[in-house]
A = this chain, B = another copy of it.
């Protein structure tokens, strides 16, 4: 069915994971799936850069059509397979607006995570400052609190009562927070959301394989 789809991905990467979730939700199992290792630098292999000249994962193809931007791939899959699998854009106007709002705020959440957790990866040693480390962490805390607040009013999903593209796209980012030790007691609404959604088949079937075998980290336990 989905033999004309190719996805190259790296484990635990929210951009890769969300495309995998979208494929499951649209009943597009059976695509050509190739797991590559960021650690080994395999995202710079020619087979990746032939599809994604930025040398990033995901690298995604549908027939001869290339679409490597993960948000774009999710929107495209919903457009192309509207009546197949689960509907991911709610008909209700208010719910669809909230879906778009959360989807794109998810970019800010992930940016603040990356800025804080991967500071030493992105900032050369001679340019590092404790003041920046502290500011990035404070910014991340403020951002995570905002999301905890969002889930006070709505639920069980990010845009309300229906699972939507907002969840496809942002759940992997929230799962990432818990993988890095976010304390469930400090963020009970986010924890409840995480615990509800993680058992959904599309999520279970695509859970990062390396997360199953290795313990999480505790970088965020005091956030």
Chain A residues at the B interface, C-beta cutoff of 8 Å: 53, 62, 64-73, 75-76, 79-80, 89, 93-94, 96-97, 100-101, 103-105, 107, 124, 126-127, 129, 131-132, 146
Prevailing SS type, chain A contact patch = helix
Among residues of B, the one whose C-beta sits closest to the C-beta of A67 is B97
CB-defined contacts of A104 to chain B, threshold 8 Å: 69-72
CB distance from A4 to the nearest CB of B (A): 12
CB-defined contacts of A71 to chain B, threshold 8 Å: 100, 104
Structural contact, A76 and B100, CB atoms closer than 8 A? yes
Bound together, the chains give a CA A81 to CA B109 distance in angstroms of 29
Q: Could you pull out 19 A-B pairs where Cβ atoms are within 8 angstroms?
A: A62-B97, A64-B94, A65-B93, A65-B94, A66-B97, A67-B97, A69-B101, A71-B100, A71-B104, A72-B97, A72-B103, A72-B104, A76-B96, A79-B89, A79-B96, A80-B93, A107-B107, A126-B129, A127-B127
CB-defined contacts of A66 to chain B, threshold 8 Å: 97, 101
CB distance from A198 to the nearest CB of B (A): 25
Knowing A126-B131, A127-B129, A129-B126 touch, does A72 contact B100 (C-beta < 8 A)? Answer: yes
